[in-house]
Structure 1
């Protein structure tokens, strides 16, 4: 049986299941309006992010099931994602996306703009805006530097050995991201991207969906559709779930926030559907 901690972790808010205290509440609209600060805030660590992404991406793809061996569908996914990457805040990241052969409904993002989407997630997307929302969410994690932030907050230090801790401490203190640090980070970082970010980071990534939809013409009213698809696939009464549902009320709160902000968000003129027909020809959505 599939573990709840390994399904759709890239979209998951697993780090805190309790409601945020009043002083920590914020609106998705405010997050969208403040997104222009992202580039400057993370520029200092961008070289390290890119190095991590390029170092780990091939192995992580293999560990996740391997890239789908079909050039046409890979090109279709790249073509589909291109307009979304084009409006990312951090233009200097080497954005890349790969379709992974995996039956789990999952997507994840590495530092430096490296994204993977599982084939089963594509299968479960009934509308282009559902897939666009997943990719936009993952773009949000990379745009906001969430992986590097959680690493720099030493969220992973406790999971490595003494030599790894020593290497990480030196890097966190301003040292170089060398092979010893990459070796210490490889396993813990993979676990992190599969088990989700902090709840605050998930709210930020949710806001990014709407920010990107504003610019691409995707329909803001569909920004939460894939969340609803997951609620249908993994009902509360079932034994299987996803890390998105670490707390069902929390998931509903995220949907409500997206809907509230979407109602005030312009867009919907028609986002690009390049590659969509090719993807759905290979991975048709099952009838409900």
Structure 2
């Protein structure tokens, strides 16, 4: 029984972390967000809602400076103040913002938001259990190996989610007659907008796929759709 104690403790820790993280995220978003009121973006949201046969899509502005979009575990969609300010200054178009909203809707529809919270807790559990076990076998380096393995797993799962949300957004934008060009043009801008320097980092270490790989995946989808429509 004792040999299973680290795993049991890790599972209990994961459950506690999941509930705490969900509560902390909800409290933070409630305290620092307001509902989107921009008329032009609301019209684009209405087109997305119509394409999904929904009465409306609510989007909130999350009052932080980093450029990002967020799908909360409870299904709400957020655009950061930093992203919205880029739009207000003309650095990002309305259609490009609509592509962000469509992408985050993809995370919600595909269950990524809630699963990421669960995965995060599970990865922490795995990290803790591996650190306990490997720390005994390989003192000094066991904890480092455990952290590296957990980080690699998290990055791989996150990249897969991003590809799936991109595909959902491409289909939704096409159905809403907004199109995918804004989605692809935003990808080309993201590194400059966010200050990221991911081009020098191996793709398998990134939580998001590389820009050209994301664009290529969307163009492959478009080619398949075109082939189907011509048959």
Matches within 5 A, 1:149-160: 149-151=115-117, 154-157=119-122, 159=124
Q: Deviations along 1:175-207, whole A, 9 cap, x unmatched? A: xxxxxxxxxxxxxxxxxxxx9962111110000
Larger RCO (CA within 8 A; separation ≥ 6):
1
User: Comparing both structures, which one devotes a greater share of its residues to helix?
Assistant: 2
Q: How far apart in 2 are the matches of 1:129 and 1:111? A: 25
Equivalent residue for 2:51, pick from 81, 87, 93: 87
Tell me the equivalent position of 1:108. 70
Tell me the equivalent position of 1:96. 58
Provide closer, same or farther for how the CA distance between residues 225 and 197 of structure 1 changes in structure 2, counting only shifts above 3 A.
Answer: farther
Equivalent residue for 2:214, pick from 254, 258, 276: 254
Q: How far apart in 1 are the matches of 2:216 and 2:114? A: 28
Q: How far apart in 2 are the matches of 1:224 and 1:158? A: 32
2:109 corresponds to 1:147: no
Matches within 5 A, 1:111-260: 111-125=73-87, 126-151=92-117, 154-157=119-122, 159=124, 198-233=158-193, 234=195, 236=197, 246=206, 250-260=210-220
Q: How far apart in 1 are the matches of 2:108 and 2:47? A: 16
Secondary structure of 2:33's counterpart equals: coil
TM-score by length of 1: 0.47
Is the Cα–Cα contact under 8 Å of residues 138 and 205 in structure 1 kept in the other structure? yes
Larger Rg: 2
Is the Cα–Cα contact under 8 Å of residues 140 and 209 in structure 1 kept in the other structure? yes
Aligned residues: 172
**Structure 1 unmatched runs, 5+:** 1-53, 161-194, 267-288
**Structure 2 unmatched runs, 5+:** 1-21, 126-154, 227-231
Query: What's the CA shift for 1:235?
Result: 5.9
More displaced stretch, 195-204 vs 72-81? 72-81
Q: Deviations along 1:8-48, whole A, 9 cap, x unmatched? A: xxxxxxxxxxxxxxxxxxxxxxxxxxxxxxxxxxxxxxxxx
Equivalent residue for 1:73, pick from 28, 32, 37: 37
Provide closer, same or farther for how the CA distance between residues 155 and 99 of structure 1 changes in structure 2, counting only shifts above 3 A.
Answer: closer
Calculate the aligned-residue CA RMSD, in Å.
4.3
Q: Deviations along 1:191-233, whole A, 9 cap, x unmatched? A: xxxx996211111000011110121100222221111111333
More displaced stretch, 227-236 vs 257-266? 257-266
TM-score by length of 2: 0.57
